[in-house]
Every structure is written in structure tokens, then in C-alpha cells.
Structure 1
Amino acid sequence: MIGGRPPVDVTLHIGSGKTGTSTIQRVLRRNPEALRAAGLLYPRTPGKLRHTALGLFVRPDDELVRHGDWLTGGYDDPVAFRRDFRRRFDREIARSGASGVVLSDEGLFSAGDRTIGRMGRLTSRLGGRVRLVVYLRRQDDHLISRYQQVVKMGEITPLTTWMQQDWVGTYDYYLRLSSWQALEPDAFVVRRFERERMVGGSLVTDFLDAADISVDEADLTHTEPRNESLGAEAIEMLRILNIYRVKHEGERPGLFGSHHHVVHLRGTDTGPVLTLPGPLLDRFMASWADANRRVAQEFLGDESGDLFRSDRKTAGTTTEQRLDPARLDHYLELLEIPEEQHAAIRRIAEKEAGRRRTVSTRAARRLFSRRLAKR
């Protein structure tokens, strides 16, 4: 409790990413009156849309100063940042008179134990009940969607290289949820990111139900989520431009965006969506089978152990990540790339087009055998 004020309940939406979080955040931001009528506040101090500053506030200093959101956010001194955040956050809640706050940052899903502990101290200061809300998506579909997102944010490696990471901290959902249980929430609501299982077939209605927000979706202003999946050709073009910016403009991989290019590409047919070979994705999903079963049984009360029912997305996909250099002029014109950059970009495009981007089934087995051996 802060300053003798009544306790304030907290609804904390921790993602995970690529599960409609931006849609949820837009709805919360655009409907302050409806939330106010329900006694709730979606505060601006942690962020205009996503509560990025909240995720930074609860991270320990050594993690904070290396975090991408900190490096790209124009922040300076962690001590000053924390002091200013706490002052403005407390003041905003006090002025609102709300009995509860709704917080949302998908970056929190993969937070470590120290960050979760610091979040616990923040919620304890507010003194009310704590409700955790999280959505889970099939790991293979999530992986493919995540790659699109990181390329849009400056990633320079091809999918077959990028995916060769240790994903335990992201995709072992049982481990993630068990870590967040340390917060000892009064309610821990886990939902599957599958349209057919959502209340009313609507993400917004489902979230309102999960968050126990007494507002009718019909009374809210919002837009349907936009499908921003780009074709493999467009993603490869963005990756080539990322390489150019890293080599010729001094940018750091993964720490810059290309929203203006994405806007142009979104309205253009760029062909099938990039994915990985089926056998590789099968093995990827198999590596999380036990964790998924435990989540279904222990967090959802589903004794069948089937966490996901929806099939992997296969329609309109390709495993070839390549941009034909003959198509480069089309994209240079579409994206309005300055002519003085064309020659260097063309050299990169021709070099990348010559690389082999496929992964054999045998290579997939070797890859995941190594990953599983480390767990």
C-alpha cells in the first residue's frame, strides 16, 4: 500500500509475444472511459501502448543496460529512470482514483527470476490482489512469426541460422509459467492462442474474460488485428536492407526498425510466407511435448495433456528464403531507396542469393539432438 491509500489490484498481462498483444494493448489504450467505469486504469507512465517502461523498471541494472528496449529507448541513467518512473506511476494511479490497474508487456514473459522478484515487490507496494494473464501459441507457428518480427527490427541472419538458438527460456512453457508462479498471484489465467477456443471466437472478448474486466466488447472502440505477415521475398528484401544498414550505416543488428518499409510492403503481394521444412518443425514441437503436457494438466486442468489442437499453418508457405536479383529493382522502387545506395544493396542481394538456405531432415535431426542434449 502506498501512502496510506486503499489497496490497488493489479492485472498483469505478460504476453506471450505474437499472441495478439498489440491488439489487446490498443483496445486498453483507446477505451479509458469504459475502463474507468469498471474502476480500472491502463496507465500511460509505463508506455503509450505497450508498457515497455514497466518491463525495464523491474529488471536488475546489469540486465537493464543490455536490454534492446533500453538501448533503443533513449534512456540514460538507470537510477534517474527508476526514480522518475516510480514518482510518475504512483502519482498517475493516485489521481485516477482507480481501484485496479491493468498492465501489459509481452517482454515480461521470458523474464528471469530476479525480474519476477522485483515485479513482486512492485505489486506488493500497491497492496491489492494480483491477477496474471498469459496466452500461449504453438511453438512452431510462434517461431516462424517471431522471425518475421525480428527481421522487421533489424535481424540480419537467415531463418535457418537464426533458429539454431537455445530456445528453452522461451518455449519451455512449463518452465516459464512455473517461474511466474513465484509471484504467488491470486489468480493465474493461462489461455491458448487458438481462435476456436476463445470466448465468443474473439481475442478481445476472451481477454476481457481472462482479465475479469466487466466491460462488454460491444461498448469498446477497437479494430480487428491486421495480418502483417509478409511473403518470403519481402522478408528477404528487408533482411538485405538490414545488412546494408549494418555494414554501411553503422547500425547494430536487431536494434533498429523498418516500419516505413513494412507499411509499403504490407499492401503488396510478396508471395508465400517463409517457413521451415516440416520434419524440422515436427522435431521442434516434439522437444516441447512433455512441457506442453504438464502445462495442459497443471495450469489448465486438461487431463488429456493436449495443450494445442490447431494444426500448424502450411497453406501459402515456402521454405526458400531467397530474393531473385532480377526482382531487386522492383523493391528498390517500391521502397523508395535512394539511388546512391543501389549498387551496394545489389552486391549484397547477389551474394545472399547465392547461398543455400534449405535444411535437410538429417541436418534437422542433428540440430535438435544437440539442443536436447543440452537440456
Structure 2
Amino acid sequence: MARVVLHIGTHKTATTAIQDFLARNREALARQGIVYPALGPQSGHHGLMFTWHDLLPPSYRLPGSDDIWETLSRQWADKDVTLLLSSEEFSRGYPSRVDMADLRRRLSAFEEVRVICVLRNQAALLQSVYQEVSRQHKVPPIESYVNRSLAAGHASGVFLSHAALYDFLLEGFAPEEILLLSYEQEVAAPEGIIGRLLAHASPAVDLAALGSLEQSSNASSPPAATLAAVRLAHPGIPEAWAFQTAAKVVQRVCGSEARTSLLHSREVVALHDAFAAENDALVARRRDVQPDFFLAPVALRPETITRDKLGAQFWMQLARELYAASLSRP
């Protein structure tokens, strides 16, 4: 039976680690009937988005991208395989998005279609998106970013409302074709989120025949280091030394095992108030087709050091580190 599985993210749910693993293990997966095609230079299939918009860099564009979906159907829709496609850009909401009805139509030659979407609690999601964006783009102070994101319902184009994202998927796919997963639950599984994604995509997969399932791509600086680096560089883009210097101070003041956050505790509460009830309602909506669906609380871990708990000691140590560094420069 020809199946197609779309892994659509969301952003900041180990998508790069998953895609890198799938690309490295392309041949081993093919021996198990899972086809992860090589489409462009990236490990993910982001070039497929050019069918609907051109938000991505031109280097992502695939040769013959206008008829790539027809090519994929012609190659695989009559084979007894699972065609696995992965890009978090499928789930982007703003400023442009995929036409889900058109996407479903383009997959109509396959006997079975499944969409896998991993959802992360909104406090951790917003923080992680901010960290990612701040490495390459100018960003406002985190206080403004949180307020803007809450008002808009998205963080740099990434849906914050899981209910709105689900409604977006329903524009093209039936509820039973959609599998929603909790990032927090999947990443805590013994086989990790990569193993869990593969098991959901193809239940008969032999994970032991594949390489290490360790998640390793796109490691970020400690959130408090991002907070400091952005404030040092504002209104510009932080350079690598700013992240490195701030990370050193975070480790010295907070400890190497400490969890920090660039969010204020009041902002975490605001995110909870904005989305917790909506998340509960989404779980209830999915009960008939996915009775074991779960979403993690909109919160950070209790031991997390939020922005308001960093204290003067952190900023004093950072100032001293910056002064010492300035003396060593020519």
C-alpha cells in the first residue's frame, strides 16, 4: 500500500535533528520501505514550499519545483512504500502559508495520507523561537516580543495557538488523517523524539537497524545568555562573542546545570492564561479520533530561573566580564 506521511513540525520541536537523522539514514530506511527523498541541499524538504509561496531563500528552490508533487506521485504512489516528507515550513502561519486543500489534492494518488504535527507548550515555544530568530535577525526586546506575539497569535510567523493551527490543517485534511503529538511527551520517551516520529510514521520500523537516535542538531545558547546578548547588541544583531561571553557568565553565576529563561514569570502566567483553556478544548476536540492525545501545561519547569530572578549579581558579573574583555582587545 502506498502511504505518504507529512511531518510538518512544528518549529522548535527537534525538526532539524529529525531531518538530519532521516537524511543520514536514507538508505537504511529505504531497506525498510520508508522513502525519505533527497530534495535539494537541505536535509529537510523546505523547497516544497515554493509551490505556494517564496518566503524562503532562493537557494531552497528545487529544480522543477512547479511539478515536484506530480513527480513524487508518479514515482511512489503505486509502490508499496511509505513516502516520508518533512518540513516545519508546512505549519508556518504568517505572513504566507501553504494551501492545505491544494496540498491534500496533490497527494490524492496515495492510498493513505497521514499528517504528523508535534506541539510544544507555548511558553517554551515562544522562548525558543525568539532565541532562534535572534541569531540571524534584529529582534525587539523580549518584553515587546511577548506582547506582540500574544496580540498577533504567532511568534515570528509560528502559530502560538495550537487550536488555530489545527483548524488550518482541517482546511485540507480529515481529522483521522492528522496525528497531533506533545513534544514534551515524545522527547521524554525512551527512544527519544526521533524514534517516536519514526514509529508513528511506520509502526513496523526496526529502530535497532538504524543509527544512534540521539538528538544533537541546532543547540542553542542558554536562554539567559540570549537575553543578555540581545540587550548588548540592541538594536543590532548579536555577534557570536556576545552569546559566548554571556553563556560563560550564566554558567558562573547560575551553575552549569541551571535552567534559565529569558521570560519574566509574569509573561509565563500571561501565556498560560492565553492558551491553557484553549489547549484543553483542543484535547477534547480530538478525543474521538485520538483518545490518548495530551498537551503539556503552558509552563516552564519549576526550577527555571526566569528573567526576574536573574538578579543584580548576574548583570554585575556580565559587566565585569565585558570590561575585562575590552582591556584585552588591541
- Please tell me whether the aligned partners of residues 8 and 116 of structure 2 are also in contact (alpha carbons under 8 angstroms): yes
Alignment pair present for 1:33 and 2:27: yes
Quick one: which of 136, 145, 158 aligns to 2:119? 136
Alignment pair present for 1:102 and 2:84: yes
Q: Which residue matches 2:300?
A: 312
- Please tell me whether the aligned partners of residues 45 and 88 of structure 1 are also in contact (alpha carbons under 8 angstroms): no
Alignment pair present for 1:289 and 2:284: no
1:128 Cα offset (Å): 3.7
1:32 Cα offset (Å): 1.1
1:114 and 1:234, CA in 2 relative to 1: closer, same or farther beyond 3 A?
closer
1:157 and 1:189, CA in 2 relative to 1: closer, same or farther beyond 3 A?
same
Equivalent AA in structure 1 for residue 33 of structure 2: G
Q: Which residue matches 2:50?
A: 56
The worse-fitting range, judged by mean Cα deviation, of 12-21 and 284-293 is: 284-293
Equivalent AA in structure 1 for residue 169 of structure 2: W
Quick one: which of 179, 193, 204 aligns to 2:194? 204
Map Cα deviations across residues 125-168 of structure 1 (whole Å, 9 max, x no partner).
Answer: x4442100011111112112221111112233111011122342
Map Cα deviations across residues 172-206 of structure 1 (whole Å, 9 max, x no partner).
Answer: 21121122022225621111112478553621222
Name the % identity. 18
1:238 and 1:114, CA in 2 relative to 1: closer, same or farther beyond 3 A?
closer
Q: Which residue matches 1:219?
A: 209
1:24 and 1:306, CA in 2 relative to 1: closer, same or farther beyond 3 A?
closer
Quick one: which of 11, 16, 23 aligns to 2:17? 23
Alignment pair present for 1:173 and 2:155: no
The worse-fitting range, judged by mean Cα deviation, of 134-143 and 271-280 is: 271-280
CA distance in 1 between counterparts of 2:226 and 2:81 reads 46
What is the TM-score when the length of structure 1 is the normalising length? 0.67
Alignment pair present for 1:118 and 2:118: no
Report the RMSD for the aligned CA atoms in angstroms.
3.8
Quick one: which of 227, 232, 237 aligns to 2:224? 232
CA distance in 2 between counterparts of 1:333 and 1:219 reads 54
CA distance in 2 between counterparts of 1:38 and 1:178 reads 33
1:269 Cα offset (Å): 5.7
CA distance in 1 between counterparts of 2:275 and 2:13 reads 18
Q: Secondary structure at the match of 2:5?
A: strand
CA distance in 1 between counterparts of 2:25 and 2:63 reads 29
1:34 Cα offset (Å): 2.3
CA distance in 1 between counterparts of 2:194 and 2:246 reads 24
1:328 Cα offset (Å): 2.4
1:28 and 1:114, CA in 2 relative to 1: closer, same or farther beyond 3 A?
closer
Quick one: which of 178, 181, 189 aligns to 1:191? 181
Equivalent AA in structure 1 for residue 49 of structure 2: G
CA distance in 2 between counterparts of 1:46 and 1:266 reads 36
1:29 Cα offset (Å): 1.0
- Please tell me whether the aligned partners of residues 33 and 81 of structure 2 are also in contact (alpha carbons under 8 angstroms): yes
CA distance in 1 between counterparts of 2:291 and 2:273 reads 19
CA distance in 2 between counterparts of 1:290 and 1:317 reads 25
Q: Which residue matches 2:285?
A: 298
Equivalent AA in structure 1 for residue 196 of structure 2: D
Q: Secondary structure at the match of 1:183?
A: coil
